[in-house]
């Protein structure tokens, strides 16, 4: 029985409001959809993420758990009410200055939780900040900068944001920061079509493996007045296939008679939002014939039927790197160590679930959605709709976290087909369970590795095989299979290497791209071996690594000579004093410990090739100048929170020779920007940054040549145009005599960069990457021996980033990577169908990330823009192995089944007794 929407009177941000809505409607939906206050974000609708935190009568609550019927007569405060008369609230400016907002999807919730605290406790302790913000999850920042920002806002110093001086190397406040802290940035679910729209919801398989038949869908549709269409595979205008690799398009938009994973879409309901939400999957006439699922064990045993005809034995692909003779060298090595590890599915858990809309415009389509890769989306949608790519326009919204999970298509094909077929705009917002169940994950890996060294501790050989569960569809499986062998021996000189990998199909969720493409899993194995060999020799674990660390002019296992920017030795040397002090402290603590708590300190190294593996991956950028002097950077590089918008502006500004504040930015829209590739593989700063630099140089050259100015002339923005000062000459070029292009620009600088790499031969020999990032991290942990719980007490991270274009952003990446590394090490394990929510799938909270010290090493990369490399993925790779080394130091137990949940660690401790 339905009751009509009723009027509800309450106060929102000091204004009396009457909102007409059903009384049981969630306050979050009323704020967003009825009152249009989209600053309040929705990440789960279940109280688990806190993104929807607002104040009701001054106290923080999850707006998604409050029926609007309960706020009648009460006062509601949202992020929109924080800034007053155009002045940011002290918390907002502190968040900006500290870089406490990355993607910004959690920021409104964080700000409101902090506002609640500061009203109750004007000068809180750090512990009080943690308690107050403990209910809001952030997947990007690692929380530390948020804590700092709140403390600073409370204890003073939070005045207006100081304008930065200079461009490259400064702590420029992120260019999209104000939008993020005021709640005005528009994410996938905030972008609403202007015309009346239809909602889409996919009907999904309740089985991991099954055959199915539809009953009479037409009759079913006619019985539901609000239902406009039910789309199936038969409605796909072009190819019902997508996938990352041109040869690997194996995933259907809608399954055709067979599903290979839980939650696979079989059809989509399109209609008014209420109708579409009310229909349950069970009501749709579908007959299911369940088939036995294919587990990782089944697939590896070779006993399972083939999921795809092109992958016999369920092996999607293999990878290999070999040099020297690893088998012989191992057999004769004086010291050897072996390890076998197993890791789990890890969920990206970005706080923004996938969302967007599509609109048919004549014979073209426009898709406004969150994505990490607008141009790949464009090309894939074109194939699915059977139209040329030029008729597809992708307009990325702000992205509320990606980490690799928004590289693959999710809802875009479905909304595109629906808009194409119905002629009306179609919108879709994934629920949290839908997002977790159906999008890609980090590959579970089973890695067996062996290493040998001589009496002095020089590595002689490394051998390793890794099987990766790539799930039902290929996605980025081939990338993992090819990237891992290059990195699997770690950033060390090893003369004899043999690494093989295989990506294996199962009926699990597809595993795809997730911060590091398999390298974090491999690092757990190689770092365990480094610890074991050092211990065997009685050598210090840091010194052992230092002895073997790659240096300038060394040759990697693929035969690549590292000419420049190999800062690992500098990282280890920077860490050495901390390492020695922390080890000694921990050992002293343990000697005097009576209770069950033991401390340990671990260290781990990493390296990471920037950009795609042995494949061309160019970026192009343009910098436009209007007759009135307006400078616009057209960047196709999507900012997923990591800060590429800001970095591109800084680089372009430096190259062109103006302050970053003078540059406007157009991002991502495929109709206005050029292809800057995907936001992945830590490539945007290095590859797209170079394109931005070249565009800046090109525009500068064109401009200066207009007035015959010398190359070191200064460009000075003045009202209505630009002035050029060359020595004591000041010139004002007449820009109005040029014709403006479609963007209104009269001069356009162009930059293109494709990192120089070569293809790899059958032994993996060649130049897979133009440059590598290096780093090392130290973890201090405390283990409760009786409960098997681990707390990370401190992290120290040294990273060679070539050049920190913006140190605040680099630190932000490192903090966030460490937080995800802590999750990977200690708590994150997705079990398909069992924990597809943020209640049971645990990611670190504000209380789980310890103080982090960042030591930036800048071993300039000559190919990089102003020397820069990348840091997005490198940040995470060393964290888990450093934690496992620390756990071993504390307990004597080496963790091999990951994550080291309390039950696993306790079992291992008991087994070792």
Partner 1 sequence: MVMVLSGLGGSGLEYRRPVTIEEAVAALRARRHTVLAGGTDLFPARVGRPCDDALLDISGLTALRGIAETNQGWRFGALATWRDVWTADLPPLFNGLRAAAREVGGMQIQNRGTIGGNLCNASPAADGVPNWLALDATVELVSSTGSRRLPVAEFVLGNRRTARREDELLIAVHVPRPAHPARGTFRKLGARRYLVISIVMVAAVAEFAADGTIASARIAVGAASEVARRLPSLETRLIGQCPDPSVVREEDLAPLAPIDDVRATAAYRRDAALTLIRRAIADLA
Ligand X SMILES: Cc1cc2nc3c(=O)[nH]c(=O)nc-3n(C[C@H](O)[C@H](O)[C@H](O)COP(=O)(O)OP(=O)(O)OC[C@H]3O[C@@H](n4cnc5c(N)ncnc54)[C@H](O)[C@@H]3O)c2cc1C
State the residues that interact with ligand FES by CB under 6 A. 42-45, 47-52, 62, 64, 101-106, 138-141, 351, 401, 641
CA–CA separation, 463 and 481 (whole Å): 16
Q: CB 189 → partner 1: shortest distance, Å?
A: 13
User: Quick one: 67 or 495, whose CB is closer to partner 1?
Assistant: 67
How buried is residue 589: exposed, middle or buried, by Cβ count under 10 Å (0-12/13-18/19+)? middle
- Please report, as residue ranges, which positions from 356 to 375 form the binding site for ligand X (by CB under 6 A): none
User: Quick one: 47 or 324, whose CB is closer to ligand X?
Assistant: 47
From the list partner 1, ligand FES, ligand X, none, pick the one residue 361 interacts with, judged by a Cβ distance below 5 to 8 Å according to partner type: none
Q: CB 349 → ligand X: shortest distance, Å?
A: 15
**Angle ∠(792,794,799) on CA atoms, nearest 5:** 115
From the list ligand FES, partner 1, ligand X, none, pick the one residue 140 interacts with, judged by a Cβ distance below 5 to 8 Å according to partner type: ligand FES
Of all residues in the chain, what percent are helix, strand and coil, respectively (each to 5)? 30, 25, 45
Per-residue burial over 287-311, b = 16 or more CB atoms within 10 Å of its CB, e = otherwise: eeeebebbebebbbeeebeebeeeb
User: Quick one: 48 or 859, whose CB is closer to ligand X?
Assistant: 48
495 belongs to the binding site for ligand X (CB under 6 A) = no
User: Quick one: 143 or 473, whose CB is closer to ligand FES?
Assistant: 143
- Cβ(767)–Cβ(557) under 8 Å? no
Q: How far apart are the first and last CA of the chain?
A: 62
Tokens for 804, please give them: 């920190």
From the list partner 1, ligand X, ligand FES, none, pick the one residue 66 interacts with, judged by a Cβ distance below 5 to 8 Å according to partner type: partner 1
Q: CB 840 → partner 1: shortest distance, Å?
A: 5
User: Quick one: 184 or 845, whose CB is closer to ligand X?
Assistant: 845
From the list ligand X, partner 1, ligand FES, none, pick the one residue 152 interacts with, judged by a Cβ distance below 5 to 8 Å according to partner type: none
User: Quick one: 561 or 787, whose CB is closer to partner 1?
Assistant: 787
- Based on its alpha-carbon atoms, the radius of gyration of the chain, rounded to whole angstroms, reads 27
From the list ligand FES, partner 1, ligand X, none, pick the one residue 390 interacts with, judged by a Cβ distance below 5 to 8 Å according to partner type: none
Q: CB 26 → ligand FES: shortest distance, Å?
A: 8
User: Quick one: 55 or 255, whose CB is closer to ligand X?
Assistant: 55
User: Quick one: 788 or 816, whose CB is closer to ligand FES?
Assistant: 816
| Interacting residue with ligand X among 22, 47, 206, 324 (CB under 6 A) | 47
User: Quick one: 137 or 627, whose CB is closer to ligand X?
Assistant: 137
Per-residue burial over 610-642, b = 16 or more CB atoms within 10 Å of its CB, e = otherwise: bbbbbeebbbbbbbbbbbebbbbbbbbbbbbbb
From the list partner 1, ligand X, ligand FES, none, pick the one residue 102 interacts with, judged by a Cβ distance below 5 to 8 Å according to partner type: ligand FES
From the list partner 1, ligand X, ligand FES, none, pick the one residue 42 interacts with, judged by a Cβ distance below 5 to 8 Å according to partner type: ligand FES
Q: CB 695 → ligand FES: shortest distance, Å?
A: 28
Find the residue with minimal CB distance to ligand X.
Answer: 47
CA–CA separation, 850 and 779 (whole Å): 10
**Number of neighbours of residue 831 by Cβ within 10 angstroms:** 12
Q: Looking at the DSSP assignment, which residues form a beta bridge with residue 752?
A: 620
User: Quick one: 275 or 475, whose CB is closer to partner 1?
Assistant: 275
User: Quick one: 64 or 623, whose CB is closer to ligand X?
Assistant: 64
Q: CB 846 → ligand X: shortest distance, Å?
A: 14
Q: CB 831 → partner 1: shortest distance, Å?
A: 6
**If you write DSSP's letter for every residue of 833-869 in order, what string do you get?**
TT--STTTS----TTT---EEEEEE----TTSGGG--
From the list ligand X, ligand FES, partner 1, none, pick the one residue 786 interacts with, judged by a Cβ distance below 5 to 8 Å according to partner type: partner 1
Q: CB 879 → ligand FES: shortest distance, Å?
A: 18
Tokens for 5, please give them: 């929407």
| Interacting residue with ligand X among 48, 527, 531, 859 (CB under 6 A) | 48
- Cβ(691)–Cβ(620) under 8 Å? yes
From the list ligand FES, ligand X, partner 1, none, pick the one residue 688 interacts with, judged by a Cβ distance below 5 to 8 Å according to partner type: none
Three-state SS at 392: strand
Per-residue burial over 861-877, b = 16 or more CB atoms within 10 Å of its CB, e = otherwise: bebbbbbbbbbbbbbbb
Q: At what angle do helices 90-98 and 107-120 cross, to 10 degrees?
A: 130
Q: CB 279 → ligand FES: shortest distance, Å?
A: 23
User: Quick one: 355 or 776, whose CB is closer to partner 1?
Assistant: 355
User: Quick one: 180 or 487, whose CB is closer to ligand FES?
Assistant: 180
Tokens for 304, please give them: 């399972």
Q: CB 357 → partner 1: shortest distance, Å?
A: 15
CA–CA separation, 879 and 164 (whole Å): 32
- Cβ(485)–Cβ(319) under 8 Å? yes
Three-state SS at 759: coil
User: Quick one: 659 or 842, whose CB is closer to ligand X?
Assistant: 842
Q: CB 62 → ligand X: shortest distance, Å?
A: 7
Q: CB 322 → partner 1: shortest distance, Å?
A: 40
The set of residues, in sequence order, having a beta carbon less than 8 Å from that of 737 and lying 6+ positions away, is none
- Cβ(438)–Cβ(286) under 8 Å? no
From the list ligand X, partner 1, ligand FES, none, pick the one residue 342 interacts with, judged by a Cβ distance below 5 to 8 Å according to partner type: none
Q: CB 319 → partner 1: shortest distance, Å?
A: 32
User: Quick one: 47 or 559, whose CB is closer to ligand X?
Assistant: 47
Give φ, ψ of 715 to 5 degrees.
-105, 125
From the list ligand FES, ligand X, partner 1, none, pick the one residue 106 interacts with, judged by a Cβ distance below 5 to 8 Å according to partner type: ligand FES
Q: CB 10 → partner 1: shortest distance, Å?
A: 11
User: Quick one: 43 or 611, whose CB is closer to ligand FES?
Assistant: 43
CA–CA separation, 706 and 724 (whole Å): 10
The set of residues, in sequence order, having a beta carbon less than 8 Å from that of 839 and lying 6+ positions away, is 46, 48
The set of residues, in sequence order, having a beta carbon less than 8 Å from that of 26 and lying 6+ positions away, is 45, 63, 64, 65, 66, 67, 68
Characterise 449 by phi-psi region: left (phi > 0), alpha (psi -120 to 50), beta (else). Answer: beta
How buried is residue 206: exposed, middle or buried, by Cβ count under 10 Å (0-12/13-18/19+)? middle
From the list ligand FES, ligand X, partner 1, none, pick the one residue 274 interacts with, judged by a Cβ distance below 5 to 8 Å according to partner type: partner 1
Q: At what angle do helices 374-385 and 412-422 cross, to 10 degrees?
A: 50
Q: CB 510 → ligand FES: shortest distance, Å?
A: 23
Q: CB 824 → ligand X: shortest distance, Å?
A: 22
From the list ligand FES, partner 1, ligand X, none, pick the one residue 105 interacts with, judged by a Cβ distance below 5 to 8 Å according to partner type: ligand FES
User: Quick one: 274 or 587, whose CB is closer to partner 1?
Assistant: 274
Q: CB 48 → ligand X: shortest distance, Å?
A: 5
CA–CA separation, 425 and 446 (whole Å): 45
From the list ligand X, partner 1, ligand FES, none, pick the one residue 906 interacts with, judged by a Cβ distance below 5 to 8 Å according to partner type: partner 1
- Cβ(476)–Cβ(678) under 8 Å? no
CA–CA separation, 583 and 599 (whole Å): 9
From the list ligand X, ligand FES, partner 1, none, pick the one residue 593 interacts with, judged by a Cβ distance below 5 to 8 Å according to partner type: none
From the list partner 1, ligand FES, ligand X, none, pick the one residue 18 interacts with, judged by a Cβ distance below 5 to 8 Å according to partner type: partner 1
From the list partner 1, ligand FES, ligand X, none, pick the one residue 131 interacts with, judged by a Cβ distance below 5 to 8 Å according to partner type: partner 1
Per-residue burial over 658-668, b = 16 or more CB atoms within 10 Å of its CB, e = otherwise: bbbebbebebb
Q: How many residues bind ligand X (CB under 6 A)?
A: 2
Interface ranges with ligand X (CB under 6 A): 47-48
């Amino acid at each position: 029985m339905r009751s009509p929407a009723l009027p509800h009177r309450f106060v929102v941000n000091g204004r009396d409001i009457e909102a007409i809505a059903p009384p049981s409607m969630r306050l979050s939906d009323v704020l967003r959809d009825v009152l249009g206050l989209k600053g309040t974000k929705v990440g789960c609708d279940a109280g688990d993420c806190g993104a929807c935190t607002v104040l009701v009568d001054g106290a923080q609550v999850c707006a998604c758990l409050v029926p609007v019927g309960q706020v009648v007569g009460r006062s509601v405060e949202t992020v929109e009410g924080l800034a007053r008369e155009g002045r940011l609230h002290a918390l907002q400016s502190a968040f900006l200055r500290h870089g406490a907002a990355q993607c910004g999807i959690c920021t409104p919730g964080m700000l409101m939780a902090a506002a609640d605290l500061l009203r109750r406790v004007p000068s809180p302790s750090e512990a009080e900040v943690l308690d107050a913000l403990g209910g809001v999850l952030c997947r990007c920042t690692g929380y530390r900068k948020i804590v700092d920002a709140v403390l600073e806002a409370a204890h003073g110093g939070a005045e207006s944001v100081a304008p930065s001086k200079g461009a490259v190397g400064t702590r420029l406040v992120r260019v999209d920061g104000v939008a993020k802290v005021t709640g005005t940035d528009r994410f996938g679910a905030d972008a609403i079509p202007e015309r009346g729209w239809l909602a889409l919801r996919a009907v999904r398989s309740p089985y991991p493996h099954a055959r199915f038949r539809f009953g009479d869908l037409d009759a079913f549709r006619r019985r539901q007045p609000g239902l406009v269409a039910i789309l199936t595979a038969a409605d796909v205008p072009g190819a019902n296939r997508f996938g990352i690799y041109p040869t690997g398009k194996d995933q259907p938009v809608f399954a055709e008679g067979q599903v290979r994973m839980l939650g696979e879409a079989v059809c989509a309901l399109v209609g008014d939002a209420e109708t579409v939400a009310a229909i349950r999957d069970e009501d749709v006439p579908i007959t299911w014939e369940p088939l036995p699922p294919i587990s990782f064990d089944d697939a590896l045993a070779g006993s399972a039927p083939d999921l795809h005809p092109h992958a016999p034995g369920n092996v999607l692909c293999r990878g290999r790197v070999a040099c020297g003779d690893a088998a012989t060298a191992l057999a004769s090595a004086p010291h050897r160590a072996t390890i076998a590890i197993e890791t789990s599915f890890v969920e990206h858990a970005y706080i923004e679930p996938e969302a967007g809309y599509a609109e048919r415009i004549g014979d073209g389509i426009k898709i406004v959605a969150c994505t990490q890769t607008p141009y790949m989306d464009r090309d894939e949608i074109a194939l699915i709709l059977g139209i040329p790519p030029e008729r597809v326009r992708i307009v990325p919204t702000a992205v509320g976290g990606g980490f690799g999970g928004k590289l693959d298509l999710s809802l875009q094909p479905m909304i595109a087909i629906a808009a194409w077929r119905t002629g009306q705009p179609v919108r879709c917002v994934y629920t949290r369970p839908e997002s977790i169940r159906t999008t890609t994950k980090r590959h579970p890996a089973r890695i067996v590795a062996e290493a040998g060294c001589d009496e002095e501790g020089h590595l002689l050989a490394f051998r390793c095989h890794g099987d990766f569960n790539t799930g039902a569809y290929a996605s980025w499986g081939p990338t993992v299979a090819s990237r891992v062998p290059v990195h699997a021996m770690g950033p060390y000189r090893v003369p004899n290497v043999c690494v093989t990998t295989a990506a294996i199909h199962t009926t699990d969720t597809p595993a795809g791209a997730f911060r590091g493409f398999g390298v974090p899993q491999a690092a757990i194995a190689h770092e365990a071996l480094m610890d074991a060999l050092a211990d065997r020799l009685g050598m210090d674990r840091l010194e052992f690594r230092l002895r073997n660390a790659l240096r300038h002019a060394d040759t990697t296992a693929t035969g690549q000579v590292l000419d420049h920017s190999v800062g690992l030795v500098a990282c280890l040397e920077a860490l050495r004093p901390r390492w020695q002090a922390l080890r000694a402290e921990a050992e002293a603590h343990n000697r005097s410990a009576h209770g069950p708590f033991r401390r340990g300190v671990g260290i781990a190294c990493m390296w990471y090739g920037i950009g795609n593996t042995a494949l061309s991956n160019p970026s192009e950028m343009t910098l436009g100048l209007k007759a009135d002097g307006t400078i616009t950077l057209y960047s196709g590089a999507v900012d997923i929170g990591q800060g590429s918008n800001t970095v591109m502006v800084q680089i372009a500004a430096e190259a062109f020779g103006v302050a970053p504040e003078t540059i406007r930015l157009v991002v991502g829209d495929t109709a206005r920007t050029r292809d800057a590739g995907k936001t992945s593989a830590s490539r945007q700063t290095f590859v797209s940054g170079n394109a931005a630099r070249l565009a800046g140089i090109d525009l500068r050259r064109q401009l200066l040549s207009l007035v015959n100015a010398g190359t070191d002339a200064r460009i000075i923005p003045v009202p209505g145009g630009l002035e050029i000062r060359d020595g004591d000459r000041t010139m004002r070029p007449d820009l109005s005599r040029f014709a403006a292009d479609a963007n209104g620009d009269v001069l356009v600088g162009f930059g293109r960069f494709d990192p120089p790499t070569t293809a790899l031969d059958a032994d993996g020999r060649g130049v897979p990457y133009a440059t590598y990032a290096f780093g090392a991290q130290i973890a201090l942990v405390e283990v409760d021996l009786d409960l098997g719980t681990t707390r990370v007490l401190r992290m120290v991270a040294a990273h060679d980033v070539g050049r920190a274009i913006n140190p605040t952003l680099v630190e932000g990446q490192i903090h966030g990577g460490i937080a995800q590394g802590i999750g990977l090490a200690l708590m994150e394990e997705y079990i398909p169908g069992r924990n597809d929510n943020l209640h049971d799938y645990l990611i670190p909270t504000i209380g789980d990330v310890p103080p982090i010290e960042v030591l930036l090493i800048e071993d300039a990369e000559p190919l990089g823009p102003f020397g820069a490399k990348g840091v997005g993925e490198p940040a995470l790779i060393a964290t888990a192995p450093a934690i496992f080394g620390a756990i071993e130091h504390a307990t004597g137990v080496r963790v091999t089944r990951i994550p080291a949940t309390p039950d696993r660690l306790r079992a291992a401790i008991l087994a070792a007794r």
